[in-house]
Amino acid sequence: MKVLVAVKRVIDPYVKIRVKSDHSGVETQNIKMAMNPFDEIAVEEALRLREKNWATEVVVVSIGGENSQETLRHALALGADRAILIRTQDSLESLNIAKILKKIIDDEKPDLVLMGKQAIDGDNNQTPQMLASLLNWPQAMYASKIEASGDHLQVTREIDGGLETISVHLPAVVSTDLRLNEPRYASLPNIMKAKKKPLENLELDSLGLSLKKHVEVLKVTEPDARSAGVKVESVAELLNKLQHEAKVL
């Protein structure tokens, strides 16, 4: 079985972001970047499926600028077999990302596509569902457990009230939730080995897709600031304030 994993380069989750003063977006110059945490979980799961001899090849794909190569090299160092970068300078909306991925999938013909449930920058939680839709494949979103047997996957999904288990026939798109697994670290020898693994660069323009703009970003602003309140000395004082000042009890 061939597994394709889509990964995204995002601002490191521990960085406190700054909104640009012209409200055009968020400051990304000289900011620490990392692989989207949900995508690391997707890579890890693909590697585990290969270790169980279910998956035979793990291909990682990213869409972005030159430096998305670092994200792909990181995935290769973790154990992915090869990587594809679709180069573009534009920041793309979910639907267009799904269309690009569909094009790659039409060529690569994987049996399973694994993706993070959302990227921690846009917080959209859309691309995997859109991709499944465009491919007309079944989807299993927010996976916290994946059991593969033959051409079926049994996926336990995190839903608001608890868990739901569904069975999907391959090929399918699965998105990962945080509790699916604990991603491994890349060892130094594997980082060295990853430099020799194949990384194919494709220009977005060469794919022959006609992508149209569906959304216009008008501005990005800071949320209303919430300031620190007061420290109280005792439980009695806290209760008194909640009752008489905040009037919430």
Answer whether 149's CB lies under 8 Å from 102's CB: no
Site for another protein in 145-174 (CB under 8 A): 154, 157-169, 172
Among 28, 91, 144, 190, binds another protein (CB under 8 A): 144
CB atoms inside a 10 Å sphere around CB 101: 25
Using a CB cutoff of 8 Å and minimum separation of 24, what contacts does 144-152 make?
144/177, 144/179, 144/180, 145/180, 146/45, 146/49, 146/174, 146/180, 148/1, 148/49, 148/52, 148/54, 151/111
Question: Measured from the CB of residue 134, what is the shortest distance to another protein in angstroms?
Answer: 5
Q: What is the dihedral of CA 120, 124, 127, 130, to 10 degrees?
A: 170
Identity of the residue, 65 or 122, whose beta carbon is nearer to another protein in the bound complex: 122
CB of 112 to another protein, least distance (A): 13
Point out which residues pair with 146 in neighbouring strands.
155
Number of residues that bind another protein (CB under 8 A): 81
Residues between 105 and 134 with contacts to another protein, criterion CB under 8 A: 117-118, 120-134
Does the footprint of another protein cover residue 91 (CB under 8 A)? no
Of 89, 188, 221, 244, the residue at the interface with another protein (CB under 8 A) is: 221
Question: What's the closest the beta carbon of residue 157 comes to another protein, in angstroms?
Answer: 8
The whole-angstrom separation of Cα 141 and Cα 236 is: 46
Q: Which of 151, 155, 125, 156 is nearest to 38 (CA)?
A: 125
Instruction: Single out the residue of 187, 168, 193 nearest to residue 82, CA to CA.
Output: 193
Does 204 contact another protein by CB under 8 A?
no
| Residue nearer to another protein on the CB measure, 162 or 189 | 162
Q: Is 176 a residue that touches another protein (CB under 8 A)?
A: no
Residues 50-79 that bind another protein (CB under 8 A): none
Q: Which is nearer to another protein, 72 or 98 (CB)?
A: 98
Q: How far is the CB of 70 from another protein (least distance, A)?
A: 21
Half-sphere exposure of 155 (CA within 13 A, CB side): 27
Least Cβ distance, residue 176 to another protein (angstroms): 11
Contacts for 124 with CB less than 8 Å, ≥ 6 apart? 94, 118
Residues 160 and 111: their CA atoms lie apart, in Å, by: 29
Q: Shortest distance, CB of residue 200 to another protein, whole angstroms?
A: 26
Contact between 157 and 172 under an 8 Å Cβ cutoff? The reply is no
Examine residue 244 and tell whether it contacts another protein (CB under 8 A): no
Query: Of 196 and 247, which has the nearer Cβ to another protein?
Result: 247
Q: Which is nearer to another protein, 132 or 194 (CB)?
A: 132
Residues 1-30 that bind another protein (CB under 8 A): 11, 13-14, 16-17, 19, 26
